[in-house]
Chain A
Amino acid sequence: MAETARKPRLGVWKFASCDGCQLSLLDCEDELLAVAGAVDIAYFPEATRGDVKGRYDLALVEGSITTPHDAERIRDVRRWARTLVTIGACATAGGIQALRNFADVAEYAAVVYARPDYIDTLATSTPIAEHVPVDFELRGCPISKHQLVEVIAAFLAGRRPVTPAHSVCVECKLRGNVCVTVAHGTPCLGPVTHAGCNALCPSYDRGCYGCYGPKETPNPAALGDKLQEQGMDADALRRVYRTFNAAAPAFREESERHGP
């Protein structure tokens, strides 16, 4: 039957972001041509010319909403897409550009631009799910390309992607790492951070800096107290929770406990 033989149509959209998460798809050097064989990559402006028109079976959305125009554009993408998956910290938590949420965006624009009146921007950077229903969120700054392939494979098989919601700590244990906090007193956000990177920073003798955002049911306040015992002052505590997932509620609330 012609209908069932049709390959699913994939589209990739970008909002405010660094392009890194969609680059993850092009970084799947071993899988890219297989993915292109299994799905019709109908819209992916970073990689191909082509028209946006039509319906999509899977929309991958990168970036956060920071302009009035983008707040409208995401509604169109939602209307065209059967399944909408957000990829990366910008799309799932507002990204580093959400630091404006704690500041005065007009002052920000005046610092960067000679003519702030040319700039049309919202006061906040917000995740896609605050604007339209999202079917699945893939975390990370950047996302893991292995998890991206898993999301696409799961979509093609009609199942939920397997992307564990436990903490980076669990990944460290699975990897057999010595705990950087216990052994070296290095401040580490591993206990509250979503898995997916395979405990990358601790494997490089560095504390986790939370680029995958909060895990399911984290306790950032308890970790905040521990970090304070290790000698972090309020300013450092506020900053450590205010990076690439600053607007994720669990990290935002804990950062606000340590100052405005």
Chain B
Amino acid sequence: MARKTIKVDYMARVEGEGALKVVVRDGKVQSAALSIFEPPRFFEALLRGRAFSEAPDITARICGICPVAYQMSAVHAMENALGVAVDGPLRDLRRLLYCGEWIESHGLHVYMLHAPDFLGYDSAIHMAKDHGDVVRRGLDLKKVGNEILTAVGGREIHPINVKVGGFYKVPRRRDLQHLAERLKGARDAALETVRWVAGFDIPDRERDYTFVALRHPDEYPFNEGRIVSNRGLDIAAAEYDAHFQEIHVRHSTALQSRMRADGSAYLVGPLARYSLNFDRLSPLARQAAREAGLGSTCRNPYQSIVVRAVETLYACDEALRIIESYREPDAPAVPVEPRAATGYAATGHGATEAPRGLLYHRYRLEADGSIADALIVPPTSQNQASIEEDLASYVESFLDLPDEALQHRCEQTVRNYDPCISCATHFLRLDMDRE
């Protein structure tokens, strides 16, 4: 029988470097492996000996696409270790900053990285030739996200204003008012985005995933909540390590996470967050999701683009709510001291919802506040096993496609996860071997 090999040397429209190898025999997928060859940067090693206060700036550099997520998980883990609580307007500002990152990151992925797959273009720039107004709408939506990041964080990439305990300087109420006008426009654009992507030709594929996400008593989760699953898991961030494990496979410089109990794969990110927290969305976002044909649970990863659009709408709504109720705090941060005075070391855990999913940090601190050891588990590491299972399970149903279309479909299947390889290095060449 003739043997076919499809090969893509470097997978595009993902953040970072990786490759994918799918082996097909007799119409069955024998194996699907996602290789990440992003060079290791050894963050967990280089953090040792640094002051607890340096973690937000250093870990931001793990990912230029979602630096706020790294800063937020870092500050929450440090505050957990040092017994500090950040409430009121400072907590709201953190949530606002996170809204900015979701709008920017989801806007980037929906318009620039993922939509071209559904509409048959190589990139948003090519897409702009036929759909100029749509691409401009996407760019403007993304820009509003960046404007929030700049207003609260100082700049879009690697914000400088986040510190353990709060901020260096808080925005004046009037500094945020012009954002309210911009956000009303962005909310309309996000609603149009939901309707636009809901009209795409979306493959109908589902699997029974284990969804893992944060859940909070009364909010759609960003910074805080318990780690829950659709299979009954309900734990505090501090118990993360007892339930999840990282495994090092030869074909990847990224560690892969699995459930500790049975070694099974699980899924974090928009699908999991949405399915576990539908009732926590704003009424507008829930209504838009219903109109887009989504139920209160979504198990079709090709619909992740619709869920991202719904979450973008939510983030615009939530950002507006925060800005309208914002009162300037008395101080930009609460004081945080190492526990030298009491002379004991401390361990802190932080789990927040990066645009791509749950991001867990754990730090053990010396009595002087320096970092003794660090553990960072990014969302793409946690999703790697699910991505491989999706390929193994869905590619078979697309095998009647011609080679080029099949290759495209495989890439799209990976991009469903908006994988961020820079974070996970710890991406993508497609090597399709079929007969």
Q: Which of A18, A32, A112, A204 contacts B62 (CB 8 A)?
A: A18
B125 x A36 contact (CB < 8 A): yes
Q: Is B12 an interface residue when CB atoms closer than 8 A count as contact?
A: yes
Question: Contact at A66–B64, with CB atoms within 8 Å?
Answer: no
Chain A, residues 196-214, CB within 8 Å of chain B (1/0): the string is: 0100110111100101000
- Chain B nearest CB from A61 CB (Å) reads 14
Interface residue? B247 (CB, 8 A): yes
CB contact under 8 A between A15 and B39, given known A46-B13, A52-B10: yes
Render A40-80 as a binary contact track against B, CB cut-off 8 A, 1 for contact: 01001111111010000000000000110010000000000
- Interface flag for A107 (CB, 8 Å): yes
Residues in B125-146 with C-beta less than 8 Å from chain A: 125-126, 128, 132, 135-136, 139-140, 142-143, 146
Tell me if B40 counts as interface (CB < 8 A to partner A). Answer: yes
Residue pair A48, B13 in contact (C-beta under 8 Å)? yes
A49 touches B160 (CB 8 A): no
Query: What chain B residues lie within 8 Å of A243 (beta carbons)?
Result: 54, 57-58
**Does B40 contact A121, Cβ atoms closer than 8 Å?**
yes
B72 at the interface (CB under 8 A from A): no
> Chain B residues with Cβ under 8 A from A97's Cβ?
41-42, 46
Query: Which of B125, B155, B420 is within 8 Å of A200, CB to CB?
Result: B155
Q: Name which residue of chain A comes closest to B132, CB basis.
A: A33
Which segment of A21-29, A131-139, A161-169, A222-230 sits at the interface? A21-29
Cross-chain contact of A206 among B132, B157, B168, B255 (Cβ < 8 A): B168
Across chains A and B, the number of contacting residue pairs, with CB separation under 8 Å, is 192
Q: Report the Cα distance A16→B108, complex, angstroms.
A: 22
Query: Any chain B CB within 8 A of the CB of A96?
Result: yes
- Are B61 and A141 in touch, CB under 8 angstroms? yes
What separation, in Å, do the CA atoms of A48 and B125 have in the docked complex?
A: 8
Question: Which residues of chain A come closer than 8 Å to B17, judged between CB atoms?
Answer: 14
Closest Cβ–Cβ distance, residue B419 to chain A (whole Å): 12
Tell me whether A112 and B426 are in contact (CB under 8 A). Answer: yes
Contact (Cβ within 8 A) A49 B40: no
Contacts of B132 in A (CB 8 A): 33
B residues in contact with A49, CB < 8 Å = 12-13, 122-123, 411
Whose C-beta in chain B lies nearest to the C-beta of A208? B160
Flag if B169 contacts A206 (CB, 8 Å). yes
- In the assembled complex, the Cα of A41 lies from the Cα of B124 at a distance in Å of 12
CA distance A211 to B158 in the complex (A): 10
Indicate whether B253 reaches chain A with its CB closer than 8 angstroms. Answer: yes
B420 CB contacts on chain A under 8 angstroms: 19
How near does chain B come to A159, taking the closest CB pair, in angstroms? Answer: 26
Are B40 and A244 interface neighbours, CB within 8 A? no
Contact B40 A109 (CB under 8 A): yes
Q: Bound complex: CA of A191 vs CA of B390, how far in Å? A: 53
Q: Are B248 and A118 interface neighbours, CB within 8 A?
A: yes
B157–A27 touching, CB < 8 Å: yes
B158 adjacent to A142 (CB under 8 Å): yes
List chain A residues, Cβ under 8 A from B161. 204, 206
User: CB of B11 within 8 A of chain A?
Assistant: yes
Residues 143-163 of B, flagged 1 when their CB comes within 8 A of A and 0 if not, give 100100000001111101100
Q: Which of A29, A66, A236 is most buried by chain B, counting CB atoms within 10 A of its CB?
A: A29
- For A15, list chain B residues within 8 Å (CB): 39
Collect the chain A residues with CB atoms within 8 Å of residue B345's CB.
none
For B38, give the chain A residue with the smallest CB separation: A16
Pairwise interchain contact A142-B157, C-beta atoms closer than 8 A: yes
Expressed in whole angstroms, the minimum distance between the Cβ of B268 and any Cβ of chain A is 20
Judged by a CB distance under 8 angstroms, whether B322 is at the interface is no
Cα–Cα, bound, A47→B121 (Å)? 11
**B45 and A111 contacting across the interface, CB-CB below 8 Å:** yes
CA distance A103 to B411 in the complex (A): 38
Which residues in B have their C-beta under 8 angstroms from that of A125?
A: 41
Contacting pair B39 A204 (CB below 8 A) = no
| In-complex Cβ contact of B250 among A14, A46, A118 (8 A) | A118
B65: CB under 8 A from chain A?
A: yes
A95 interface residue per 8 A CB criterion: yes
B67 beta carbon closer than 8 Å to chain A: yes
Q: Does any Cβ of A come within 8 Å of B294's Cβ?
A: no
User: Is B42 touching A27 in the complex (CB atoms < 8 A)?
Assistant: no
Some 27 contacts from A to B, beta carbons below 8 A apart, are A18-B62, A18-B63, A18-B422, A19-B16, A20-B65, A32-B125, A36-B125, A45-B12, A48-B126, A50-B12, A52-B9, A52-B10, A96-B41, A96-B43, A103-B45, A109-B40, A109-B45, A114-B247, A118-B248, A118-B253, A141-B61, A142-B155, A142-B157, A201-B168, A204-B160, A205-B169, A239-B54
For the A-B complex with A23-B15, A239-B51 known, give 6 more contacts whose Cβ atoms are closer than 8 Å: A18-B62, A20-B65, A23-B157, A33-B135, A48-B123, A70-B39
Task: Enumerate chain B interface residues (CB-CB to A < 8 A).
Answer: 9-17, 38-46, 48-51, 54, 57-58, 61-65, 67, 108, 112-113, 122-126, 128, 132, 135-136, 139-140, 142-143, 146, 154-158, 160-161, 168-169, 246-248, 250, 253, 255, 332, 373, 411, 420, 422, 426
Question: Can you list the 6 inter-chain pairs with the closest CB atoms, starting with the nearest?
Answer: A20-B64, A48-B123, A108-B45, A97-B41, A29-B143, A18-B64
